[in-house]
Amino acid sequence: MIGRPQLWLAKKIFGVIKSVWINKKWISLTLVVSVTTWAITWGYGQIWLELPDINKIYQPPALTSKITDRNGNVLYKYYQGQNRSWIKYGQIPEMLINASLAIEDKEFFSHRGVSVRGTINAVWDNLKHRKGKTMRGGSTITQQLVKNVFLSSEKSVKRKIKEWVLALTLERKMSKTEILERYINQVPYGGEIYGAVEAAERYFGKNVDELDLAQIAFLAGLPASPTTYGVSTDYKMARARQKTVLEEMRQAKMIYEADYQKAVTEDLEILSQKPQISAPHFVFYVKDYLASNFGINNLATSGVTVKTSLDLGVQEKAQNVVAQEIELVKKLNINNGAALVIDVKSGDIIAMVGSKDYFAPDIDGKYNVVTALRQPGSSIKPINYLLALKRGRSMNDYIEDTPVTYEIRGQKPYSPKNYNGKFMGKVTIKTALASSLNIPSVKLLAENGVQSMIDLGTDMGITTWEDRNRFGLSLALGGGEVRMIDLAQAYSIFANLGDKVAVNPILEIRNYLGEMVYSKTTEEQRVVEPEYSFLINQALSDNNARAPVFGLNSKLVIPGKTVAVKTGTTNNLRDNWCIGWTPNTLVAVWVGNNGNQPMSWVASGVSGATPIWQNIMSEMLRDKNNEEWRVPEGIYRAKACGREDFFVGGQENRIRCIESTPTPSPF
């Protein structure tokens, strides 16, 4: 199909031919012109048919997505070949616009897409250029834009004609400011850097509106030939190009002489290119979270900015603690560790350390323990004890820590053992929980029912117990795999006195224009009765109650702070845990080996996960006042067996007292 411009041209030429023919003059000339006209018209029509749809200029290009921490620090950028962020025209520094016009297209606001004068001047300048001087181009900013958006870099007459036609067409469809906005955002600035926003970040580590004149002149000189003027090839040529931009600006009276002299002598500090990622386990967790919860599957091209809840400062400290402690225990065949820090009131993930080092060569550092399936050992016990409270048990009820064997049809007899190999006789349920005794926990689960514990755990946030037939009484001691992030979700309910606040790492999502498309709101759901949550917290923060096994000076104690804490170690020494919480903060830690090789030795409360937990939690609580859980309605203090403690609904009256305090001893 032939468009209007070439039809107009054909009519004009054929009009001349007709006149000549009628007057029977210059017949031979008529034939030549006829053939030439046909050739031009046909060729132009073919080019017209090959032109891309100019309306695609309105579609945003592939844009870089950014993942940031809560303070705006960039953790990672997702992009596909072209690292580009968008900036609206009104936000582009005026000096950058002036610099671009001065070096590329002084007549931009007067021409209609193609500058005849600019083309002639470029040809004349190139004809007389001296050796060593860079060839000058005659393309307008509009031509450069359509070339970058629609065309290749092929040097041919055909491509140049397409460029002219597209430029003329674009000028009729868009305003000058719209064209400038797209030019600033879409032209290349070297390597994978496209657009001035990413160029400012790449070369100077600044926002584009923070650049000074010297830096702006450097950037404005790049689009003409990023490989020639980029500092990766020749710093002298880059400086020479920058000086040329400044000279053009001075001649155009865009800057004063003093501005020119200051900028041309300024020492440019160009950043070295270091592809960087911070908190990699968290970044890729967020990528999956965005896909499953927001349907965002195209981070490499969508140009969204995602502000997460991570605090990079806390993250780096936690990462260092994990790495240092794992190095200290390598002789115990402990080769990896992980940690998770959560703000329980908001569900914010403050830090996520998926392994000792994402890039560790001696292990699969990319393995994210926080989201992996691991056996929790005794760290799962609070759910079982919570269920006992819901069924009417009191923390001051007594239970036998004595040998027991369960005969289950089709299975080997099951005889649980305490991890220290000893038995304590009659103990309170509170002591059994705080001291992490195995036998009382199994006896309670036999009372509570395995299916009931699965129901409660699922309600609290455990997502990995779907195949119920796999589990038996060993579930009380961690026989069912969990994910650390699920366990943290469940125990944040204790910290919130029964309210479940969903763990959510996303604070904000903005589109490529900076418009808010999502802002986090915190919602609470009552899952557990506050009084039972309080009793679990009170038991796990009572240092005297855990003293029979851990002693009074274990690493579970943070001096001057009220912290509920639970440890766990699997019988085969493959997983070791420590998870603790305050009314505001939860810290979970794991150590072990990715491939499930057993550790040589580990002692909860002394080694393994606990020192890491204590270090991170102490840092989180530093310079903060001690916080205790409020006493919920229905909980009161009363005496039973000569001791004052917390009770629900008259339970103190049914306690049957024993005379001595239990101590661990062989049975």
Question: Quick one: 179 and 322 in the same domain?
Answer: no
Task: Identify the CA nearest to 434 among candidates 279, 276, 551, 569.
Answer: 551
**What confidence category does residue 549 fall into, taking pLDDT thresholds of 50, 70 and 90?**
confident
- Look up the CATH number of the domain holding residue 637: 3.40.710.10
Q: Pairing between strand 398-401 and 425-428?
A: antiparallel
pLDDT of residue 658: 74
Beta bridge partners, 188, equal: 194
Query: Which ranges of 128-156 does DSSP label H, i.e. alpha helix?
Result: 141-150
The answer as to whether 508 is a domain residue is: yes
358, pLDDT greater than 80:
yes
Kindly state the average pLDDT of the residues 291-320: 96
Question: Quick one: 17 and 145 in the same domain?
Answer: no
Interacting residues of 422 by C-beta distance below 8 A, sequence separation 6+? 664, 665, 666, 667
As a whole number of angstroms, the distance between CA 334 and CA 590 comes to: 11
As a whole number of angstroms, the distance between CA 491 and CA 500 comes to: 9
**What confidence category does residue 274 fall into, taking pLDDT thresholds of 50, 70 and 90?**
low
Q: What is the pLDDT of residues 473-505, one digit of tens each?
A: 999 999 999 999 999 999 999 999 999 999 999
Query: Which ranges of 128-234 does DSSP label H, i.e. alpha helix?
Result: 141-150, 157-173, 176-186, 196-204, 213-220, 226-229
Three-class SS state of 403: coil
Kindly state the average pLDDT of the residues 427-433: 95
The model's pTM: 0.85
Of 265, 286, 302, the one marking the end of a domain is 265
**What confidence category does residue 133 fall into, taking pLDDT thresholds of 50, 70 and 90?**
very low
As a whole number of angstroms, the distance between CA 572 and CA 570 comes to: 5
Least confident stretch, 104-113, 260-269, 651-660: 651-660
**What confidence category does residue 9 fall into, taking pLDDT thresholds of 50, 70 and 90?**
low
DSSP string of 456-495, one letter each residue: HHHHHT--S---GGG--GGGGGT-S-EEHHHHHHHHHHHH
Kindly state the average pLDDT of the residues 27-52: 56
The answer as to whether 333 is a domain residue is: yes
As a whole number of angstroms, the distance between CA 424 and CA 444 comes to: 16
The answer as to whether 70 is a domain residue is: no
The number of distinct structural domains making up the chain is: 3
Question: For residue 373, which phi and psi values (nearest 5 degrees)?
Answer: -80, 120
Q: What is the pLDDT of residues 184-203, one digit of tens each?
A: 999 999 888 999 999 999 99
Kindly state the average pLDDT of the residues 577-601: 97
Task: Identify the CA nearest to 477 among candidates 434, 443, 522.
Answer: 443
pLDDT of residue 600: 94
As a whole number of angstroms, the distance between CA 359 and CA 357 comes to: 5
Question: Quick one: 598 and 469 in the same domain?
Answer: yes
The answer as to whether 295 is a domain residue is: no
Mean residue pLDDT across the chain: 88
Q: If you count DSSP H runs as helices and E runs as strands, how many of each does the chain have, helices first?
A: 23, 21
What ranges make up the beta strands (E) of 563-633? 564-569, 575-581, 585-592
Question: Quick one: 234 and 348 in the same domain?
Answer: no
Asked if 48 contacts 251 with a C-beta cutoff of 8 angstroms, the reply is no
Question: Quick one: 428 and 557 in the same domain?
Answer: yes
Question: Quick one: 97 and 37 in the same domain?
Answer: no
Kindly state the average pLDDT of the residues 284-288: 97
The answer as to whether 27 is a domain residue is: yes
**% of the chain surpassing 90 pLDDT:** 70
Kindly state the average pLDDT of the residues 154-169: 86
Asked if 468 contacts 563 with a C-beta cutoff of 8 angstroms, the reply is no
Question: Quick one: 203 and 152 in the same domain?
Answer: yes
Question: Which strand (E) or helix (H) includes residue 123?
Answer: helix 116-127
Question: Quick one: 125 and 247 in the same domain?
Answer: yes
**What confidence category does residue 126 fall into, taking pLDDT thresholds of 50, 70 and 90?**
low
Kindly state the average pLDDT of the residues 327-346: 97
Give the number of other Cβ atoms within 10 Å of residue 436's Cβ: 26
As a whole number of angstroms, the distance between CA 260 and CA 263 comes to: 5
Token pair 């032109």: residue:
51
pLDDT of residue 193: 92
Of 249, 265, 281, the one marking the end of a domain is 265
The answer as to whether 575 is a domain residue is: yes
More confident residue, 629 or 361: 629
250: alpha, beta or left, given left = phi > 0 and alpha = psi -120 to 50?
A: alpha
pLDDT of residue 37: 54
- Look up the CATH number of the domain holding residue 164: 1.10.3810.10
Cα atoms in the 13 Å half-sphere on the side-chain side of 330: 7
Question: Quick one: 86 and 46 in the same domain?
Answer: no
Question: Quick one: 494 and 548 in the same domain?
Answer: yes
pLDDT of residue 231: 63
The answer as to whether 584 is a domain residue is: yes
Kindly state the average pLDDT of the residues 523-545: 96
The answer as to whether 621 is a domain residue is: yes
Question: Quick one: 92 and 197 in the same domain?
Answer: yes
Kindly state the average pLDDT of the residues 126-133: 52
Cα atoms in the 13 Å half-sphere on the side-chain side of 615: 19
**What confidence category does residue 35 fall into, taking pLDDT thresholds of 50, 70 and 90?**
very low
Three-class SS state of 113: coil
Question: Which strand (E) or helix (H) includes residue 399?
Answer: strand 398-401
Question: Quick one: 260 and 381 in the same domain?
Answer: no
Q: Which amino acid is at 521?
A: T
pLDDT of residue 576: 97
Task: Identify the CA nearest to 255 among candidates 217, 207, 224.
Answer: 217
Range of the domain at 10: 4-50
